[in-house]
Homo-oligomer: A and B are copies of this chain.
Amino acid sequence: MHRTITGFSNPTVKFLRSLRDKKHRRREKRFLAEGLRLLTDAREAGRLPEMLVLATGRQPHPLVTALIADVTAAGGDVVAMDEEILAKVTGKGNPQAVAGVFAEFDTNLANLDRTGSPIWLVAQALRDPGNLGTMLRTGDAVGAGGLILIDDCADPFSVEAVRASMGAVFTQRLAQARWDEFLAWLRDGAGAGRGQLVAASLRDAQDYRSAPYAAPCFLMVGNESRGLPAEYEDACDLRVTIPMLGKADSLNAAVAGAVLAYEALAHLRG
């Protein structure tokens, strides 16, 4: 059975709108994903929303019907509301007018299995949620295990990051850690599983095309404005440089991560 909501002041509407705000997401440990495509990607990855939100009075798309069945079977909540109210909750670009509330995933570094994938992406103090989501999307494409967020990054569960990930937030592992925690975890792995830490860098670096990448390979990019701190670069096993032939001295962070990730993939696939 659906619940139907008719007023803007309904507590569920307020709850949904509050999830656009990081503070509320942190408190609720829940996040919002909008649009049929994202929700279907989630479902195919075995992730169902705790709450599915729909517009009333629509002939549902077959994929929406499938979502309703699965969410109901899993004991989740299905809520219908006027399209006008839903538009206030989810914003534009949601023509099927569906959204879902998901429990945040575990982002504990200790629970990552680094041997599960040859490539991992690492972002340090990445501030733009679009860049963060794009890195998740690239990670999915190169068969990476996931994205490790170091220091104070944008929220991977923000609506913008979830949208830019194009569903990869549901398939890539996410971890969040301070630099010291990450380095201790990385160096604590035994033998071949220890992990090679690679920085995109301009200092004391070798050409990214001929560098000796080794799995599991952790490819790290830094903050959009400042890049990586020098001491973080110093701690890396490998510093690689991407040619910059023009006036600018850096690439977009998500672009740098992707160029490195595809290069490492070509080497590690053999």
Contacts and interface: CB of A to CB of B under 8 A. Distances in A.
B258 A41 contact: no
Contact of A259 (B171, B244, B248, B258): B258
A265 B171 CA distance: 32
Interface residues of A, number: 36
A66 interface: no
A41 B255 contact: no
A139 B243 CA distance: 12
A248 B134 contact: no
A139 to B, nearest CB: 8
A242 B254 contact: no
Contacts of A164: 252
Interface string A242-270: 11111110111011001100110110000
A137 B171 contact: no
Contact of A134 (B244, B247, B252): B252
Contact of A258 (B130, B166, B258, B266): B258
Given A258-B259, A259-B262, A262-B242, A248 B44 contact: no
B243 A265 contact: yes
A140 B166 CA distance: 27
A44 B255 CA distance: 25
Given A130-B130, A259-B262, A262-B259, A168 B246 contact: yes
Contact of A141 (B142, B143, B245, B266): B245
Contacts of A17: none
A170 to B, nearest CB: 8
13 contacts: A137-B248, A137-B251, A138-B251, A139-B246, A140-B247, A141-B243, A141-B245, A141-B246, A168-B246, A168-B248, A171-B247, A243-B262, A243-B265
* 5 tightest A-B CB contacts, nearest first: A140-B246, A143-B245, A255-B258, A134-B252, A259-B262
